[in-house]
Amino acid sequence: MFRLKGFKKEIDSIIREARRLIENKKYHRAITELEKHKAYSRNVEYFLLLAEAYEKIGNEEKAEEYFEQARFLEAAIKSREQLKKSYFLIKKKEYVKAREVLLEAIELDPFEPEVYIELHKLYKKQGLKKEAAKVLKSLMTVAPFLDYPYLELAGHYYSTGNYDMVDNILSQGLEKIDKASFMYESAKMYQLIGEIEKAEELLREVCNREPGNVDYRQKLVDVLINLSKIDEALSLLMNTLKLYPESPYLLQSIATIYELKGDDEKAEFFMRKAVAVSDSFIKEDSMRMLADFLIEKGKIDQAEEILKEIIETAESSWLVMDAFVEFTLICMDQNRTHSIIDIAKKILKLQLLTEEELLELLEILSDVLEEEGHIFAARKVCEYVIKRSKNEKQLKRCYANINRLSELISLEKMWKKGN
């Protein structure tokens, strides 16, 4: 910041001196002083003074060149001002005005990529897909070596199901842009449209360029699995694990491959290792993976313990609910509804759930209470959900439950009177 201030002060000083020299008709000296700093200046007056000095000595060609540079620079500065103005308008959700301002900015300076990017984002925000695509095509012409328009336009054609155009756009980009990051993103898109061999080719190239990049290696593993090259995928993961021996995601991927190979013992070993080396939300994710595996393999007791641990320790409310639903299914199969009620009480005490998740849990709890024979309590919980819920499907279910429960209560009262 201090260097920029010092530089501005220096340019201002040069401009003042040049202006004085021109006023004193010392044009050649003014040109000499100004030309020394030409490569560093972004000041309109600087170029206007150069143009004036050259005009005074009769060099019309140079004068016109610098007048043109001054005009171009002034337009570019005004364009940047319009771009900044558009940020403010978009923040205020004045999208029509923002669009007008951005179009003015393009008219002032049709070679500034950032303006096109902002206009594309605006059209995309408004759902104007055709207009957004048109802007991207213009940007490909203005900035042919920028990866943004190719990836965004490929994404647009993917959303419309036009996979031939996805390939066409990515191919154009790959001819011009020789960056590992662009090749990686292109590979991901090729995988999405089913061009797995192209994705593999690109990913092998980026992995060769940046062998230490885990994301690149991980995506190559995904593609190799798609191509049923399981052993090669496992070998790549094992080599990567040597570089990052405590990466939970690598350990999870290795476990997945061993499961695909039918080696459940090694799959479980690496899943448990992923749990052991991770923490926070990554540990929760690893635990959920292990629980699913144990359920699938019929190790229900072990899975239940993992699910309980997730419920008691997880920081993520959605993961707590996910584990609770799975735990509920296990207990319902074993006719252990009382266990569900106990766990539900613990979750409610945590006060971690969102309003929507809370109502979902209470709806499940109502069903469990009914199963336990607590009809009045089940109806009361349903009534609470109805008072709070805004979900039409949930409300419909709860009203149906209340009608059924009320009927059961009436029948029970009639039966008691009859006896």
Residue 39 lies in a domain: no
Q: In 3-state terms, what secondary structure has residue 144?
A: coil
Tell me the C-alpha distance between 378 and 414, whole Å. Answer: 20
Q: Is residue 105 part of a domain?
A: no
pLDDT confidence of residue 234: 96
Query: What are 238's two structure tokens?
Result: 């094992």
Residues 186/189/194/196 CA torsion (nearest 10 deg): 40
What's the whole-number mean pLDDT along residues 114-141? 95
Phi-psi region for residue 43, left (φ > 0), alpha (ψ -120 to 50) or beta?
A: beta
Structural domain count, the chain: 1
DSSP three-state, residue 228: coil
pLDDT band at 41 (very low <50, low <70, confident <90, very high): low
Residue pair 215/184 in contact by the 8 Å Cβ criterion: yes
Inside any domain, residue 246? no
Higher pLDDT, 252 or 79: 252
* Torsion angle defined by CA atoms of residues 166, 168, 169 and 171, in that order, rounded to the nearest 10 degrees: 120
In a domain, 395, yes or no: yes
Structural domain contains residue 383: yes
The region, left, alpha or beta by phi > 0 then psi within -120 to 50, assigned to residue 298 is left
314: left (phi over 0), alpha (psi -120 to 50) or beta: beta
Task: Please classify residue 85 by burial: count the beta carbons closer than 10 Å to its beta carbon, then call 0-12 exposed, 13-18 middle and 19+ buried.
Answer: middle
* Mean local confidence (pLDDT), 79-98: 91
Does any domain span residue 144? no
What 8-state DSSP symbol labels residue 130?
Answer: H
Least Cα distance to 222 among 172, 247, 188, 262 occurs for 188
Q: Could you tell me the sign of the dihedral formed by the alpha carbons of 65, 68, 74, 78, in that order? A: negative
Res 4: pLDDT: 42
Q: Kindly report which listed range (76-90, 145-159, 171-185) carries the lowest average pLDDT score.
A: 76-90
Q: 411 is in which domain, residue-wise?
A: 354-418
Q: Tens of pLDDT along 161-187?
A: 999 999 999 999 999 999 999 999 999
Question: How distant, in Å, are the alpha carbons of 363, 395, 404, 408 from that of 370?
Answer: 11, 18, 11, 10
| Amino acid code (one letter) for 337 | T
Residue 416 has pLDDT above 90, yes or no: no
Chain centre distance of CA 105 = 28
Nearest CA to 310 out of 347, 336, 341 is that of 347
Element (H, E) at 4: helix 2-23
The number of beta carbons lying within 10 Å of the beta carbon of residue 260 is 14
Distance of alpha carbon 332 from alpha carbon 355, whole angstroms: 25
Average pLDDT value for residue range 382-406: 93
Q: What is the pLDDT of residue 38?
A: 67
**For the chain, how big is the Rg over CA atoms in Å?**
33
Domain assignment of residue 398, yes or no: yes
Residue 360 lies in a domain: yes
Rounded CA separation 34/28 (Å):
10
DSSP 8-state secondary structure symbol assigned to residue 110 = T
Dump pLDDT digits (tens) for 183-207.
999 999 999 999 999 999 999 999 9
Per-residue pLDDT of 331-359, as tens digits, reads 999 999 999 999 999 999 989 999 999 99
Q: CA dist 136 to 16, 130, 152, Å?
A: 43, 10, 8
Spatial separation of the C-alpha atoms in residues 400 and 389, rounded to whole Å: 15
Q: Note whether 54 and 63 are within 8 A (CB).
A: yes
Rounded CA separation 114/262 (Å): 51
